[in-house]
Amino acid sequence: MHDLAGYDLIVVGSGFFGLTVAERVAEGLGKRVLVLERRDHIGGNAYSEAEPETGIEIHRYGAHLFHTSNERVWEYVNRFTDFTGYQHRVFARAGDQVYAFPMNLALINQFFGKAHSPDEARALIAEQAAEVETSEATNLEEKAISLIGRPLYEAFVKGYNEKQWQTDPKNLDASIITRLPVRYTYDNRYFNDTHEGLPVDGYAAWLERMADHENIDVVLETDFFEVRDRIPAGTPVVYTGPLDRYFDHSEGELGWRTLDFEMSVEPTGDFQGTSVINYNDADVPFTRILEFRHMHPEREYPKDKTVIVREYSRFAESGDEPYYPINTPDNRAKLERYRELARKETANRNVLFGGRLGTYKYLDMHMAIGSALTMYSNRLVPYFAEGRALSGTEAEE
């Protein structure tokens, strides 16, 4: 059993948030850091590996696409990896047709079978959306129709959300959809950020470089809750696991969505012609198919085999991997109570809470890294360099 004494900081979890904190404290402050990871690999859900039969790099926990407009984050991540010029584009299957996605002028013209100018397309969608006044929408279905009209809603939103939430959109809160972007151009680039790409050598190599520091020790297959009694009193801890689990679910379990993945090797060099196709029809059980070879067209992959992954969405049960927090009044009320407990834990035991699980927030990779850099600058540098107390929670930053 690894000795937990002698460290200046203990980080629980080795996803992007945890590794960023560990690397900054080790390199920037010269402190000794121990990272505890319950899985058999570092990197959290961003972990990637070569599929044995084909050598194609797959993302074990679903597609991870790096993009950011945060220059501080972009400068930081480029210390550990170069990026390809990959630009993510998604396609959506509805019925027997495949459309460019997000909704744009190409989709509108293809769907309605007529060439519209941007002004004509705006007028068409406005006319169809007039069926429901946005301010009067009481559920997801009404909200979506008020934004894009019934035809596009029924083809591209209704079935997909039924599968995503396992609930009729009439019974989902309108707030789930803040907006449904429609581009009145032929631009089908999925992200609008300044910087986008995939790590040249893959995510695993990037993550391993972050952890490869003389002041960092990583211990895998170690459950924090089984060893926390052995952590010396007063040692600061950055916890990135589930917030409710830390407090033994004392305020109730927070709800999550989870994903199931069905991977197969197909006897063809190209299964679908692109990285991601969403399946919008309710009678198709999966939400999308990923084909990872298309994320790295610059690589030499087999020409007679490819790897695809069908992705399914459902409510997480006990023991499932949590992916997406569920924004309901009940969960928000629990979260407020947990945040109060977290504030007390920070003040009393030097524990900071961060990351997607530790704050019950959905964070893209660049957001997790940015949040970790903020915690480092605002909490950990003052603590180690100036002797100031740790206070507050990352959830409020």
The secondary structure element, H or E, covering residue 314 is strand 306-315
Residues 117-169: tens digit of each pLDDT? 999 999 999 999 999 999 999 999 999 999 999 999 999 999 998 998 888 99
- The confidence score (pLDDT) of residue 396 equals 42
Q: Which of 257, 339, 356, 379 is catalytic?
A: 257
Rounding to the nearest 10 degrees, give the CA dihedral for residues 357, 358, 363, 368.
-130
- The Cα angle at residue 125 between residues 122 and 126, in degrees rounded to 5: 80
Half-sphere exposure in the Cβ direction for 331 (13 Å, CA): 14
* CA triple 198-202-203, angle to 5 deg: 90
What are the tens digits of pLDDT across the range 173-207?
888 887 788 999 999 999 999 999 999 999 999 99
| Catalytic annotation, pick one of 24, 60, 183, 356 | 183
Separation of alpha carbons 78 and 46, rounded Å: 17
Looking at residues 45-63, what average pLDDT do you find? 97
Closest CA to 240 of 321, 351, 383: 351
Active site residue 320: no
Instruction: Tell me the one-letter amino acid at 370.
Output: G
User: Binning pLDDT at 50, 70 and 90, where does residue 1 land?
Assistant: low
pLDDT at 172: 85
Q: Alpha-carbon torsion 262, 268, 272, 276, what sign?
A: positive
Tokens 């695809």 identify what position?
Answer: 308
Rounded Cα gap, residues 134 and 363, in angstroms: 27
Among residues 288, 339, 356, 379, which one is catalytic? 288
Considering 3, 96, 119, 179, which one is annotated as catalytic? 179
Residues contacting residue 40 through CB under 8 Å, at least 6 positions apart: 220, 221
Q: Residue ranges per domain, the chain?
A: 9-85+196-251+328-386, 99-177
Nearest to 98 by CA among 221, 279, 312, 364: 279
Is residue 364 part of the annotated active site? The answer reads yes
Q: Which residue among the candidates 71, 127, 133, 362 is catalytic per the annotation? A: 362
Is 388 an active-site residue?
Answer: no
Phi, psi dihedrals of residue 21, rounded to the nearest 5°: -60, -45
**Predicted structure pTM score:** 0.93
Coil, helix or strand at residue 233: coil
Which position among 37, 311, 345, 394 bears the catalytic label?
311
HSE-CB of 44 using CA atoms within 13 angstroms: 26
CATH class of the structural domain 9-85+196-251+328-386 = alpha beta
Q: Averaged over 285-307, what is the pLDDT?
A: 97
CB atoms within 10 A of CB 32: 15
* Count of C-beta atoms within a 10 Å radius of residue 26: 23
DSSP secondary structure code for residue 395 in this structure: G
- Please confirm, yes or no, whether 212 is among the known catalytic residues: no
| Residue 311: active-site member | yes
Query: To the nearest whole number, what is the mean pLDDT of the chain?
Result: 94
